[in-house]
Structure 1
Amino acid sequence: MGYYLLKRVLLFIPTLLGITLITFVLMQALPGDPVQGMAGERATAETIARIRSELGQDRPLPLQYLGYVKLLATGELGRSYYTNRKISDDLLQKFPNTLRLALAAMLFASIFGIGLGTLAAVKRGTNWDRVIAFVTVGGISIPVFWLGLALMLVFSLYFRVLPPSGMGNGRLEYLILPAVTLGTFSLSYIARVTRSSMLESLSQPYIAAARAKGLSETRVVLKHALKNSLIPIVTLIGLDLGSYLNGAVLTETIFGWDGLGRYALDGILKRDYPVIMGVVLFGAFVFVTMNLLVDLSYHLLDPRVRIKSET
C-alpha cells in the first residue's frame, strides 16, 4: 500500500510537466496575439515591441517554456497579463466558489443517481425501469446550456421561487439551479451505471444465500447488493467531481457564478497565457489527485482489492 502510494505520488511531477508542455504548445497555435490585444489596434510598432519584451514574448519558444518551468519551481504560477495579479491568488479566490458548486452538484447527482439506479435494478422490466431509463437518456442527451436556461425560465421567471443568477453572498437558494444544471448529466450516468452494477450483484450466489437466510429484501439490496456494486459508481463519481472542480464553464457563465470556469473562459478570450496555463495546471493537479483518491478508496470498499495489491 505504501509503495503504491509513493509510486503514484512520484508520477505527479512528470505528469504535470507533460501537461504544461502540451498546453504551452497548443497556446501557440491559438489565433490572435495577446500583445496586440493588450496594446490596442492603434498601438505603434514600438509600443508593441516594448510590451512584448516586458512579457518575455520576444524570446524563443523553448526559452519561454523553460522560464515558465523555473517559475513553477519557485512555487509561483505567474501574473495575469491584464490585471498583473498573481495567478495563485486568483485561483485561491475562485476555487472555493467552484468547490461549493461542484460538491452541491455531485451530492445531488449521487443521491438521486444511486437511488434511481437501485430502484431501476430492483424493478427491472417494470414501468419504473422504463421511466427511469427514459429520464436518464434525456439527462445525458440534453445540452447543459439549454437545461440551465430552461430551469432559469421556469423557476426564476415563471414561478419566481429561485433567483436566476449570481451567488447571493453564499445563500443556498442561489446554489440550487446551478447545482441541478451541472449535476443532471452525472445523475443520469450514475443511475445507469448503478443499475448495471446492481443487476450483476443481484445475480450472484451470495444474494440467493442472503435471501435463503430470511433477510429482508431491503437489507439484501442495500447491505449486500449495493455495497458490492460501489466500485464502478465511486469511480464515476470521483472522475466527474474532478472535472467539476476544474470549473464548469457553461454553468458558471449562465448563472453568473464567479468560479474557475468563468476565470478560465475570460483568460482564453483575452489570450491571457499565464491565466490559461495556471488554470490548466491547477486543474490537472486536482484531477490527478481525485484519481489517486478514487484508487485508494477501492481498498476500503473491497477488501479483495487490498489483498490483491498486497500479495
Structure 2
Amino acid sequence: MGRYVARRLLQMIPVFIGTTLLIFLVMYALPGDPVRALWGDKPPDPSQIEKIRHDLGLDQPILKQYWDYLIGLFQGDFGTQIASGRPVADILTDAFPVTIRLTLIAFTLTIVIGIPLGVLAGMRLGKITDNVILILTLLLISVPVFVMGFLAQAFLGFELGWIEPTVQDSLAFDQLMLPGIVLGALSLAYVTRLTRTSIAENRRADYVRTAVAKGLPRRRVVGRHLLRNSLIPVVTFLGYDLGSLMAGAIVTEGIFNVKGVGGAIYEAILRREGTTIVGLVTVMVLIYLLANLIVDLLYAVLDPRIRYA
C-alpha cells in the first residue's frame, strides 16, 4: 500500500506542473495588459508601467515567470494581485472557506439523498417508484444550474419570501443552504441514476444469489454484499465530482451573491489577473488530485478483492 501511495504521489507531479503551466500559457496569450489597465481611460506613463512590470517580474519570459511562481509556491507565496497589491494567499484565505462550505452542503446532499434514492430505485426496478425517481432525476439533469438558481431565487425569495434572495453572510451555513441545494442538484441526479444502475446490475450477481440462498436477512444482503460492491463506480464519480462542485460553484455564487472562489475568479478574469487565477486553479488542482487518491484507496475498503501491492 505504501509503495502504491508513493507511486501515485509521484504521478501527481507532472499533472500538477502541466495544469498550472497550461493556465500560465493561456493567461499569457490573452489580449490586453493588466498593468496598463490600472490607469483606466487615462493615458498611462510608460516609465511607471515598465517599473511595475519589472517589480512584478512581468517583463521576464513566460517560462521564467512560471519557474519563479513554482519556487514561491513551495515557500507559501502565491504571488501578488496587480490591481490591489494584495497577496493572493490572502484572497485564497478569504474565498476558499466560503466555497468549501458551499461544496460540503452540496456534497452531503448528494450522498445522503442521492445514494438512498438510487438504492430504492434499483431495488424496485421497473415499478412506479423507480419510474418516478427516473423522471425527477431526468428533470434535474435537463435544467441548467443557472436556470434552477434563478427559479429558486425568484420563487422562494421574491414570491414566497421564505429566504433572502441573496446571501448576506457568506460564512453562515443557514444562508448557504439554498445555494448548496441548487449546486448539488445535478450531482444528486447523476449519483441516483448511477447507483440505481449499479444496484440493478449487481442484484443478478452470483454472490447476491448465494447470500439470499443462505437465508441471510435482506438488510444484510443489501447493505453488506450488494451495496458495497455497487458503490465502487459511485465513489469514483464522487471523487471527480468533489472538484467539479467547487468549480461549478462559480455560477451559483454569482446568482446568490456568495463571496467565494467564483467571485474572485470572475473579477480576476475581468482584470486579467493571471497570478490570482493561477493561484485559485492551483488549489483546485490539488483538491482534485487528493480526492482521486482517496477514491483509489477506498476501492480496497469497499471490495476486499482489490489489493495494492
TM-score class, shorter: over 0.9
**Local SS of the residue matching 1:160:** coil
Aligned to 2:180: 179
Are residues 171 and 41 of structure 1, via their aligned partners in 2, closer, same or farther at CA, if it must alter by over 3 Å?
A: closer
Structure-1-length-normalised TM-score: 0.92
Give the distance between the partners of 1:189 and 1:282, measured in 2 at CA: 25
- One-letter code of the match for 1:2? G
Give the distance between the partners of 2:122 and 2:245, measured in 1 at CA: 28
**Local SS of the residue matching 2:306:** helix
Are residues 138 and 153 of structure 1, via their aligned partners in 2, closer, same or farther at CA, if it must alter by over 3 Å?
A: same
* 1:248-267 CA-partner distances (Å, limit 9, x unpaired): 10011111112112211211
Give the distance between the partners of 1:212 and 1:64, measured in 2 at CA: 66
- One-letter code of the match for 1:51? I
Aligned to 1:52: 53
Aligned to 2:13: 13
Query: Residues 110 and 191 of structure 2 are in contact (CA less than 8 Å); yes or no, is this contact kept in structure 1?
Result: yes
Query: Aligned-pair distance for 1:85?
Result: 1.6
Aligned to 1:83: 84
Query: Aligned-pair distance for 1:272?
Result: 0.7
**Long gaps (5+) in structure 1:** none
**Local SS of the residue matching 1:34:** coil
* 1:32-81 CA-partner distances (Å, limit 9, x unpaired): 22122112222235243333333322233333233323322433110111
Are residues 66 and 169 of structure 1, via their aligned partners in 2, closer, same or farther at CA, if it must alter by over 3 Å?
A: closer
Query: Residues 39 and 48 of structure 1 are in contact (CA less than 8 Å); yes or no, is this contact kept in structure 2?
Result: no
**Local SS of the residue matching 1:11:** helix
Query: Aligned-pair distance for 1:84?
Result: 1.5
Give the distance between the partners of 1:171 and 1:49, measured in 2 at CA: 44
Aligned to 1:252: 253
1:1-311 equivalences under 5 Å are: 1-46=1-46, 47-168=48-169, 170-246=171-247, 248-306=249-307, 309-310=308-309
- One-letter code of the match for 1:109? T
Query: Aligned-pair distance for 1:93?
Result: 2.1
Deviates more, 1:85-94 or 1:98-107: 85-94
Structure-2-length-normalised TM-score: 0.93
Query: Residues 141 and 186 of structure 2 are in contact (CA less than 8 Å); yes or no, is this contact kept in structure 1?
Result: yes
- One-letter code of the match for 1:26? V
Query: Residues 103 and 245 of structure 2 are in contact (CA less than 8 Å); yes or no, is this contact kept in structure 1?
Result: yes
* 1:64-114 CA-partner distances (Å, limit 9, x unpaired): 233323322433110111121211222122211111111110111112211
Between the two proteins, what is the percent identity of the paired residues? 40
Deviates more, 1:63-72 or 1:291-300: 63-72
Give the distance between the partners of 1:282 and 1:243, measured in 2 at CA: 13
Query: Aligned-pair distance for 1:169?
Result: 6.3
